Amino acid sequence: MNTRVHTISEPAQTARSIFDLLGGEPGVRALVDRFYDLMDMEDDLKELRAAHGPSLDEARDKLFWFLCGYFGGPDHYIQRFGHPRLRARHLPFSIGEAERDQWVACMGRALQDAGTEPALVDRLLESFYGVADWMRNRAG
């Protein structure tokens, strides 16, 4: 089991090449759009969808800005909002095991649909799992 402590300010290893490998800003935008399209559409992601408001437009922009920096590209999110403080920013939403697992599954499908190399998908999902698990704020 992976016991490393994940903090959102810790850049992913070889982050710059991850941003490039994913196709820079157009690639990350397409990934995020696919992520929210899937969340909106797939029956087994409905608890995750229900935790969001009626519109996903703001979430799309914010996750795009955040992931550009997280993958080692431009820090669009920090420039607009300062430190991500993701755990604190997610406290208004109920996050348990189902929401954590659905977020990671949704991202896995979006990465696969983008044609991302399987080894990179595994590595990114491991890292996202750590972050999503740390954001749980509800038992069960």
Quick check: 48 binds ligand HEM (CB under 6 A)? yes
**CB 16, min distance to ligand HEM, A:** 18
Residue 45 CB, nearest distance to ligand HEM (Å)?
10
From CA 51, how far away is CA 95, in angstroms rounded? Answer: 8
Q: Enumerate residues 6+ apart whose C-beta is below 8 A from 107.
A: 35, 124, 125, 128
Tell me the chain's radius of gyration from C-alpha atoms.
Answer: 14
Of 99 and 108, which has the nearer Cβ to ligand HEM? Answer: 99
Indicate which single residue of 100, 111, 116, 124 sits in contact with ligand HEM (rule: CB under 6 A).
100
Min CB(67)–ligand HEM separation in Å: 7
Subset of 102-131 contacting ligand HEM (CB under 6 A): 103, 128, 131
Helical H segments across 22-75, by residue range: 24-41, 46-50, 57-70
Residues 6+ apart with CB under 8 A from 93: 51, 52, 99, 137
Positive or negative, the CA dihedral 100, 29, 17, 74 is: negative
**Among residues 62, 87, 109, 123, the one that binds ligand HEM under rule CB under 6 A:** 62
One residue of 21, 93, 123, 137 binding ligand HEM per CB under 6 A: 93
Pick one of 5, 26, 53, 115: the residue that binds ligand HEM (CB under 6 A): 53
Query: 66 burial class (0-12, 13-18, 19+ CB within 10 angstroms)?
Result: buried
User: Would you tell me which residues interact with ligand HEM (CB under 6 A)?
Assistant: 48, 51-53, 58-59, 62-63, 66, 81, 86, 89-90, 93, 95, 99-100, 103, 128, 131-132, 135
